[in-house]
Chains A and B, each alone.
Chain A
């Protein structure tokens, strides 16, 4: 039996599912999708068996880059990214925090070279939950609350 869709169906695109309700809009923010012409539906506080309440984001005609998937992992480690082709779920990606985080976060040390010269940031992940990372340049260790997503 075909399940009923809470928000409109898309032909091709991406569905980001299993977002904690309270960070749904934060995910919208970090994805920088405001310029997209296709359908974007954002729903939050949906009933979910697994999570109690969840959020979901559907974006027509867009596939996510690796960096975008990694950014989602940083703030919503239990999210699922569904790739929709011809109305069907073609692929399901379980997001995961990588061992090395490239580019997507900013070093909290103002005296770090990455904040003073155009250089891609790079962090090694010391701990995933709670997230704790170490800048590969200045060696500063950042805890979850210091982490700023670029």
Chain B
């Protein structure tokens, strides 16, 4: 499989085989340090919106492979402030870097950046649209902690309406014969177009409000934050915020092998008492960003075939 010069913009563009291949390379990256693999290469991190964790993860991945990193962490310090278009910025960055990771508040920005650039572009989040490296590290984590991706019962909990992470993960997991449980208050349920897609593909799913109704069936529970601002009615929010706060009281209602994931940062949806249990894998999940991003950098730069 040849990923040289490929842009990583949307999870929708990756076949099952391609996803599995990326995960395989990530596995190799984890086993063996390659401190000189990207020796002569430069990564530009263009962050038009602050995201410390994602930026540090890209930076660390590049540096662990011997590469260098240039860029900016917020648009205030760049020529963006002077009104330069994204297109023009990319034309300039093309001369300075071999690969770009871009985070931008507008949807579709990463695609436009990739069109402007002759070098590979990795989308590190474009508004509410896509964040494909997050989805890939989520898959990598599930594969590691469950030993497989196929035939799993996956619960997705929290803000399923606006959460791009859960949308992308649903699309990606659909390759692997899953059963989905979408657990959210009515107002924040999975958008209809995603459910229609699942129906069309014949993938079983149910929508629930009550976690305890389905918790015993789950192999993986993916938790996301519910933001107060999302609720039209504050009373509604008060009603639900407690329901989706996971604590030790949940343990009698889940399988021994259930793994709990979260894209982080969390606020209070997972009590810290859960952290020490066998179920918590969210810190490991965050750490998995490194091998996955290393794999992607090496692949798009053509250093691994």
- Assess whether B85 is in contact with A118, with CB atoms less than 8 Å apart: yes
- Contact of B112 (CB < 8 Å), options: A109, A111, A137, A141: A137
Q: Which residues does chain B contribute within 8 Å of A116, judged by CB atoms?
A: 106
**A-contacting residues, B55-113, CB 8 Å:** 85-87, 104-109, 111-112
Q: How far is the CA of A112 from the CA of B109 in the complex (A)?
A: 8
Give the number of residues in A that approach B within 8 Å (Cβ atoms). Answer: 17
**B-contacting residues, A95-150, CB 8 Å:** 107, 109, 111-114, 116-119, 135-141
- Assess whether A137 is in contact with B107, with CB atoms less than 8 Å apart: yes
Q: How far is the CA of A1 from the CA of B281 in the complex (A)?
A: 83
* Interface assignment of B128: CB less than 8 Å from any CB of chain A: yes
* Interface assignment of B193: CB less than 8 Å from any CB of chain A: yes
Q: Which residues does chain B contribute within 8 Å of A114, judged by CB atoms?
A: 108, 112
Q: Which residues does chain B contribute within 8 Å of A118, judged by CB atoms?
A: 85, 87
Tell me the smallest distance from the CB of B73 to a CB of chain A, in Å. Answer: 21
Give the number of residues in B that approach A within 8 Å (Cβ atoms). Answer: 19
- Assess whether A111 is in contact with B127, with CB atoms less than 8 Å apart: yes
Q: Which residues does chain A contribute within 8 Å of B104, judged by CB atoms?
A: 113
Q: Which residues does chain B contribute within 8 Å of A141, judged by CB atoms?
A: 193
Q: Report the nearest A residue to B111, measured CB to CB.
A: A137
Residues of A within 8 A of B (CB): 107, 109, 111-114, 116-119, 135-141
- Assess whether A112 is in contact with B107, with CB atoms less than 8 Å apart: yes
- Contact of A139 (CB < 8 Å), options: B86, B87, B107: B107
Q: Which residues does chain B contribute within 8 Å of A107, judged by CB atoms?
A: 108
* Interface assignment of B215: CB less than 8 Å from any CB of chain A: no
Q: Which residues does chain B contribute within 8 Å of A109, judged by CB atoms?
A: 107
Q: How far is the CA of A130 from the CA of B111 in the complex (A)?
A: 27
12 A–B contacts, CB within 8 A, in A order: A107-B108, A113-B104, A113-B109, A117-B86, A117-B106, A118-B87, A135-B108, A137-B108, A137-B111, A137-B112, A138-B106, A138-B107
- Assess whether B112 is in contact with A139, with CB atoms less than 8 Å apart: no
- Assess whether A139 is in contact with B85, with CB atoms less than 8 Å apart: no
- Assess whether B112 is in contact with A117, with CB atoms less than 8 Å apart: yes
